[in-house]
């Protein structure tokens, strides 16, 4: 803030979120998994994000995507990349260029930024909301939504992710995101977020006792040459059969105090020992 109390918000407005995509290197960088800190790109200490995380975030929340260096790729590669970007962020305006030459009016004074629309812009969010983006069949770019009411068996799901996802068995999954639950972790919904070669599984929230029933699994997969039926079948095989009686859980520990309290409250209310 200035001496007179004025802040940046008082003097400026956010007009357009612009992301520049390197047509020649975008997909290669998406698959590296390098951490930002390794590249000297981390904006703050202890930033654990990867290059893949940053690339996807910037594409998904852009109002305008400038697709640059198109002179360095062939026509088929360019068209395929257009389809991938449209799948990741269907609402973004695409500006194509060589050597960064763009008209100022394409990126300035557009008035496109809207925080509520930005939150709904990513392709995976639209899929969850029932706004399916038609497949780009010619280039094999598609998405699929998996829903289920039972929790996943953690060990079976972990083996699927670590042993089969990168094998090409289900095509190339460029992006997957959504919400999931694991048997043995009552009261907690997890956030599944995968970008390129990097996947994260973190707690997203606590399921309060007495709340409306929610689907246990809602996951969107975006990629090329996706074998959706095979992927759905493999995920269904990871769902819990019957009651959870314990077993291996290789997923990272979720330390969610609110979940512990909710679980203890439910046990107390049912007359079980806490």
37: CATH: 3.40.50.300
Answer yes or no: do 253 and 174 share one domain: yes
What is the structure's pLDDT at 37? 86
pLDDT at residue 271, rounded to an integer: 31
HEC secondary structure over the chain: CCCCCCCHHHHCCCCCCEEEEECCCHHHHHCCCCECHHHCCCCCCCCCCEHHHHHHHHHHCCCEEEEECHHHCCHHHHHHHHHHHHHHCCCCEEEECCCCCCCHHHHCCCCCCCHHHHHHCCHHHHHHCCCCCCCEHHHCEEEEEEEECCCECHHHHHHHHHHCHHHCECEEEEEEEEEECECCCCCEEEEEEEECCEEEEEEEEECCCCCCCCCCEEEEEEEECCCHHHHHHHHHHCECCCCCCCCCCCCCCCCCHHHHHHHHHHHHHCCCCC
Q: Would residue 116 count as lying in a domain?
A: no
Q: What is the pLDDT, as a whole number, of residue 74?
A: 95
Select from 110, 132, 165 the last residue of a domain. Answer: 110
Same domain, 181 and 259: yes
Q: For residues 101 and 188, state if they share a domain.
A: no
* 71 shares a domain with 156: no
Examine residue 134 and state whether it is found in any structural domain, yes or no: no
Residue 222, domain member (yes or no): yes
Range of the domain at 28: 10-110
**Is residue 48 domain-shared with residue 159, that is, in the same domain?**
no
For residues 21 and 59, state if they share a domain: yes
Asked whether residue 2 is assigned to any structural domain, the reply reads: no
Give residue 122's pLDDT. 79
pLDDT, position 264: 39
The per-residue pLDDT for 176 is 94
- Give pLDDT, residue 184: 93
pLDDT in tens, 159-193: 999 999 989 999 999 999 999 999 999 889 999 99
Q: Quick one: 26 and 74 in the same domain?
A: yes
Please state the domain count of the chain: 2
pLDDT at position 209? 55
Single out the residue in 110, 131, 155 at which a domain terminates: 110
With 0.85 as the threshold, say if the pTM is over it: no
Does 200 lie in the same domain as 160?
Answer: yes
Kindly state whether residues 154 and 262 are assigned to the same domain: yes
| Residue 55 located in a structural domain | yes
Do residues 19 and 81 share a domain?
A: yes
As averages over each run of 10 residues, the pLDDT of the chain (274 residues) reads 68 90 93 84 83 91 95 94 91 94 95 82 77 67 92 96 93 94 92 92 78 76 94 97 91 75 37 27
Instruction: Please report whether residue 254 resides in a domain.
Output: yes
Amino acid 9: pLDDT: 73
- Report the pLDDT value the prediction gives residue 248, as an integer from 0 to 100: 93
Q: Classify residue 60: in a domain, yes or no.
A: yes
Q: Tell whether 89 and 144 lie within a shared domain.
A: no
Within this chain, do residues 259 and 221 fall inside the same structural domain, yes or no? Answer: yes
User: CATH number, domain at 213?
Assistant: 3.30.1220.10
**Residue 117 within a domain:** no
């Amino acid at each position: 803030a200035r001496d007179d109390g004025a802040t940046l918000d008082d003097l400026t407005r956010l007009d357009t979120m612009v992301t520049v995509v390197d047509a020649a290197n975008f997909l290669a960088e998406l698959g590296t998994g390098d951490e930002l800190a390794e590249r000297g790109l981390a904006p703050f200490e202890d930033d654990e994000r990867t290059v893949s995380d940053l690339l996807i975030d910037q594409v998904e929340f852009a109002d305008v995507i400038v697709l640059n260096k198109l002179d360095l790729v062939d026509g088929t590669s360019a068209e395929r990349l257009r389809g991938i970007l449209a799948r990741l962020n269907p609402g973004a305006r695409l500006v194509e260029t060589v050597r960064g030459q763009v008209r100022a009016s394409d990126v300035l004074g557009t008035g496109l930024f809207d925080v509520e629309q930005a939150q709904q812009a990513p392709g995976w969010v639209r899929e969850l909301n029932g706004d399916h983006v038609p497949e780009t069949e010619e280039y094999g770019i598609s998405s699929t939504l998996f829903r289920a009411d039972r929790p996943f068996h953690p060990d079976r799901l972990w083996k699927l992710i670590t042993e089969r996802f990168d094998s090409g068995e289900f095509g190339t999954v460029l992006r997957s995101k959504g919400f999931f639950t694991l048997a043995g972790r009552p009261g907690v919904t997890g956030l599944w977020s995968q970008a390129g070669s990097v996947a994260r599984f973190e707690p997203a929230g606590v399921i309060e006792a007495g709340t409306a029933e929610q689907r246990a699994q809602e996951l969107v997969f975006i990629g090329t040459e996706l074998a959706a039926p095979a992927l759905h079948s493999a995920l269904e095989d990871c769902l819990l059969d019957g009651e959870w009686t314990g077993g291996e859980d290789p997923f990272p520990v979720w330390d969610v105090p609110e979940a512990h309290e909710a679980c203890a409250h439910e046990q107390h209310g049912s007359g079980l020992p806490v």
